[in-house]
Chain A
Amino acid sequence: DTGVSQDPRHKITKRGQNVTFRCDPISEHNRLYWYRQTLGQGPEFLTYFQNEAQLEKSRLLSDRFSAERPKGSFSTLEIQRTEQGDSAMYLCASSLEYGTRPYEQYFGPGTRLTVT
């Protein structure tokens, strides 16, 4: 049973550096979501894809953040010129568009980013 995987699990970077995270969704899931979560808070929506199309992006997301899903399979999230406020857990989730439980999202283990 292959669930959602994310790489790396942990990333420590210096302020100003660029970082890229990868997410591999459950293979038959056509929807893929990126969230950010800080301690004591629920996940905050960043963006989502349906197949390779990026359908929505949070208004709170700065231009330093970009995401791609080039072939409708895995996705990458890049943060340019990282700031200390970017330190958080970055979660990826995937779901089916149709089925008995549409939109039920399955989460990966997350990538914990620490910006020093």
Chain B
Amino acid sequence: GQNIDQPTEMTATEGAIVQINCTYQTSGFNGLFWYQQHAGEAPTFLSYNVLDGLEEKGRFSSFLSRSKGYSYLLLKELQMKDSASYLCAFMDSNYQLIWGAGTKLIIKP
């Protein structure tokens, strides 16, 4: 079967670093996506990993371990505007995105 799991909610302090984990199980895999979604808005693309390792893009980095079925999103120098839900999704063998429920990130001053 297929499943994907991420924490429901996390809290962090402005200026700090936070890591959001995602674990998944699937027989067919074509990459792991992270999206950001502010309340009431559509998801926006953050990162895509298809090979093992770390992809860095400014304050955001994403890591993938295919053998462990594990990914994380690392956010550095947190800003208040980073308060949002972060959605993890993997692409299955039919090239469909299977989504997690999202991690609500709360940033405190």
Contacts and interface: CB of A to CB of B under 8 A. Distances in A.
Interface of A: 40-45, 48, 56, 91, 101, 103-110
B91 A103 contact: yes
A43 B85 CA distance: 12
A42 B42 contact: no
A56 B97 CA distance: 12
Contacts of B19: none
A56 B41 contact: no
A3 to B, nearest CB: 9
Interface of B: 30-31, 33, 41-45, 48, 87, 89, 91, 94-102
B93 to A, nearest CB: 12
Contact of A45 (B87, B97, B101): B97
Nearest to B87: A42
B43 to A, nearest CB: 5
